[in-house]
Structure 1
Amino acid sequence: MTACAIENGTAAATGAAGDDLPDGPDCPAAPLGAPPVAPAFTIAADGSYAARLALADVAAEASDGGGGAWFVERWTLDGPEPYAVPLPLDQPEEPDSEVLPLADGRVLIRRRVAELHAVSLLYPTGPGTGELPLGTVACPDLTLLPPSPDGVSAYALSAGAHSTSVWQVAGGAFGPEPVAEVPGHCSGGVWLDRAGRMLALDREMPGGGPVKAVAVDLERGGEVTPLLQIAPDSNDRLLLADPGSGLLLLRSDAPGHDRLGWGVLGSCLPVRFPECLRPADAAVTPFAVQPGQVLTPESCAVALRIDGAAGSWVGVWRPAGRRLHQFAAPEGWQAGRGVWARDGVLRLPYADGNVACGVALLEAPVDDGPRVPESAGPGAGPGAEAGAEAGVGSGMQPSGAAVPLPVCKPVPLGQAPLTGRMTPG
């Protein structure tokens, strides 16, 4: 169990950050080591705990044809040294169960039981595991949403033929209860504030049509308001949001094909689609935003998972820098998972053959040198910088020619809920 820095694709006991990797499709990625043994790994909203399903070491049973046994494992991430606590019960867990850590150290688990979904809280009790059943939800499918920012509540989505129910499955007074009914088929789930009141969902209306991110006010009976309307027929999905700065990371096909973009909640400026976020022959997915940059959303460091033929590795990017830095991932990285500290250090959880519970530390690089141009979304104003050129040797040249954008007027982010930026809590 250790905390370490990333160096040359391995976990090394040093304080130095890893070197940038070459750009482009031939960018080498550190081997992931053993494939992730858990179908789920979730980090609490405050970064204090994580939880996953782990596979027990049952070599004797496996030799007899019994196979492995899944159990819940809780990781403590905010102490001087990370460590894992197993939370097994008398019966093994099913691999399709979902887990979610709360800020008090308990772990919520959703299990499918026949036609029901049972929700319980697990916690360590001396040598054993305590379980507090919370109740059941009767529906075909129930999916846990990301951890609520308040640290004590948990929510889930249940999509029906014509509407989607938002359930509060923990933190309520009477067990699982529906708190909102949203017309249309909803997926995703991003929290827009620190209180756990405003939830962004990606919605497709009955009968088809584009997917649009909407904001749902859970304290006003699930009141729905538009959040992203980049172009009339574009699919606009919200991926990440930082409540402090208002920085939004989204995916949209408004530029003509699916692209990663960014904007600021409450801003009237158009969404931007950086060229550096579409490297050739690789898929890029953001998974963490640096907190604490309240008045300067453009300076927030964003962590990205990059998937290519060679495996998965880590990217770091800032809107102001407009350069994608690429790093090898530690062996056994829980790919696509990590949390930023306010001082700009990215914490990446991993487990390999030698380390059962580790956190690799990656310091956000400083942006310097020539910048790569960005494409502005539809309706870009005179201040758009889409015509700037990337300097020769910048290391991240545009990966393709600019795509002509449709001419239409977007609904600015300033018309979305939460128009004022949040102040530090």
Structure 2
Amino acid sequence: MTVCAIEMTTTAPFTIAPDGSYAARLAGEGEARYVERWTLAGPEPYAVPLPLAQPEEADSEVLPLADGRVLIHRRVADRHAFALLYPTGAAAGPRTGELQLGSVEAREGLRIGLLPPSPDGFRAFALAVTDAGTTLWRVAGGGFGPVARIPGRCSGGVWLDRAGRMLAVDRELDGTTKAVAVDLGCGEVSPLLQICEDSDDRLLLADPDSGLLLMRSDAPGEPRLGWGVLGSSLPVRFPECLRLEDAHPFAVQPGQALMPETCGVALRLPEGGLALWRPADRHVFRLGGPVGWLGGTGLWSAQGRLHLPYSTPEVPCGVVGMTPPVSPPPPVRLEPVPAPAARPIPLQQAPL
């Protein structure tokens, strides 16, 4: 495997659909920003710009859907507006079509952010957070409106199943932050992570196939990366090899049913660094991300290959694939050969 040089060209979010078919980002600079959709399912990736008559604001959020449309969340005057963008394919006229979905009134103290793409690829959700609590909104793929109301201030967002029904969020309530599970079917909220009574336990990543959970908790006495298994009675482990400063897991290998220890995990390090790890290896491989790595993100295939998007002047739309190195075997301890036991000598053979 070739180790690439480190050079982050942008830290702007680059969001990939769960099935790896499409991705989206805000491209451009300064006052000339526009939505750009990447097609990843073909033999070679390619980008399609989706500009409108008015440039997008730098704080707009985008999210790709499995049908090729891109959801955008904008702040428009006194409202948070949501719309779908798509290429029209027209030879003349606007190249980008826009379908308005709905909006939420912007109130003082209200913060709205898109959640990661739903596993089904067609729905999208957002968290609306105030001091009074959190509302989970469905903003695409069904009726526009609130789905669940959660006491406390919520952040994060990790999907726990392939159906897109169970969602984990980190809830700040009564001075501590704990990951809770939200059932989108009925709106019920239930505890998920409770390592210690007064610890802050945040869920960072989950793999529905194996049940592997990646979390950050201060239960060991300081914020540490740990891992566990969904539904398991075994305690959370905090490996020494994961004592990495400012490391953020961003991709986990799917398809490893009932084998969480074999799942590959990719972690983003400061200054564009990359680390690869498996729970079974107890070893972290530190690598360099590709030149022009976009957003410090990527997608892991079930075959164990990590795909990282990048953009350079020479290759404006590219994806590099890498396979984790083979973990070194555990050290072998050689026990000293014991000295032979003393054998008694018959009296007639004893030296005088």
**TM (normalized to structure 2)?**
0.90
Preserved CA contact (<8 Å) 1:346 1:363: yes
Q: Quick check: 1:267 aligned with 2:232?
A: yes
Gaps of 5+ in 2: 334-352
Which structure has the larger Rg over C-alpha atoms? 2
How far has the Cα of 1:370 moved from its partner?
2.7
Residue in structure 2 matched with residue 15 of structure 1 by the alignment: none
| Distance in 1 separating the partners of 2:96 and 2:295 | 28
Q: 2:22 aligns with which of 41, 49, 62?
A: 49
Q: Partners in 2 of 1:305 and 1:40 — Cα distance? A: 13
Q: In structure 2, what is the Cα distance between the partners aligned to 1:39 and 1:97?
A: 11
Equivalence map 1:334-413=2 (5 Å):
334-370=294-330
Given the alignment, which residue of 163, 168, 172 partners 1:204? Answer: 172
Aligned twin of 2:257: 294
Question: Aligned partners of 2:3 and 2:152: how far apart in 1?
Answer: 47
Do the aligned partners of 2:117 and 2:124 also contact (CA within 8 Å) in 1?
Answer: yes
Tell me the amino acid that sits aligned with residue 321 of structure 1: D
Aligned with 2:283: secondary structure?
A: coil
Check whether the contact 1:39–1:96 (CA below 8 A) recurs between aligned residues: no
AA in 2 matched with 1:370: P
Asked if 1:145 is matched to 2:108, the reply is no
Please give the secondary structure, in 1, of the residue aligned with 2:246.
Answer: strand
Q: Specify the alignment match of 2:97 in structure 1.
A: 130
Instruction: Decide which of 324, 327, 336 is 2:284's aligned counterpart.
Output: 324
Answer yes or no: is the 8 Å Cα contact 1:189–1:199 preserved in 2: yes
Give the root-mean-square deviation of aligned CA atoms: 1.6
Distance 1:350 1:267 in 2: 37
2:2 to 4, 7, 11: 7
Amino acid at match of 1:276: C
Q: Deviations over 1:71-110 (max 9, x none)?
A: 0000111211011000001110001000000011100000
Q: Distance in 1 between matches of 2:2 and 2:325?
A: 14
Counterpart secondary structure, 1:283: coil
- Which digits, 9 at most, give the CA deviation of each residue in 1:309-328, with x for residues without a partner? xx221111000111101111
Q: 1:218 aligns to what? A: 184
Q: CA deviation at 1:68?
A: 4.1
Matched, 1:242 2:207: yes
- Structure 1 range deviating more: 70-79 or 249-258: 70-79
What's the % identity of the aligned pairs?
63
Deviation per CA, 1:264-283: give whole Å up to 9, x if none. 0011000000111114xx32
CA deviation digits over 1:371-425, x for unaligned, max 9? 8xxxxxxxxxxxxxxxxxx99xxxxxxxxxxxxxxxxxxxxxxxxxxxxxxxxxx
**The 10-residue stretch of structure 1 (95-104 or 132-141) with the greater mean CA deviation from structure 2:** 132-141
Query: Partner letter of residue 226 of structure 1?
Result: P
One-letter amino acid of the structure 2 residue matched with residue 251 of structure 1: R
Contact 2:256–2:262 at 8 Å: present in 1 too? yes
SS in 2 for 1:75: strand
Residue pair 2:211, 2:258 contacting (<8 A) in 1 also: no
Spell out the pairing of 1:410-421 with structure 2 (5 A cutoff).
none
Report the alpha carbon displacement of residue 31 of structure 1 after superposing the two structures with TM. Answer: 2.6
Please report the TM-score for the alignment, with normalisation by the length of structure 1. Answer: 0.74
Q: Contact 1:312–1:335 at 8 Å: present in 2 too? A: no
* Matching residue's letter, 1:134: L
2:135 to 165, 168, 186: 165
Contact 1:298 1:319 in 2 (8 A): yes
- Match of 1:80, as an amino acid? P
Alignment of 1:9-158 (within 5 A): 9-10=4-5, 30-32=6-8, 35-36=9-10, 39-55=12-28, 68-127=31-90, 128-139=95-106, 140-158=110-128
Q: Which among 208, 217, 235 is matched to residue 252 of structure 1?
A: 217
Report the alpha carbon displacement of residue 8 of structure 1 after superposing the two structures with TM.
3.6
The answer to whether the 8 Å contact 1:44/1:147 transfers is: yes
User: How many equivalent residue pairs?
Assistant: 326
Q: Distance in 1 between matches of 2:167 and 2:7?
A: 36
Decide whether the 8 Å contact of 1:39 with 1:95 is kept in 2.
no
Using the TM superposition, give the Cα deviation of residue 302 of structure 1 relative to its aligned residue in structure 2, in angstroms. 0.4
**2:207 and 2:315 mapped to 1: Cα distance?**
31
Given candidates 153, 168, 174, the residue that maps to 1:185 is: 153
Gaps (5+ residues) in structure 1? 1-5, 11-29, 57-66, 372-389, 392-425
Write the distance in 2 (CA, Å) between the matches of 1:322 and 1:147.
30
The question of 1:195 aligning with 2:163 is answered yes
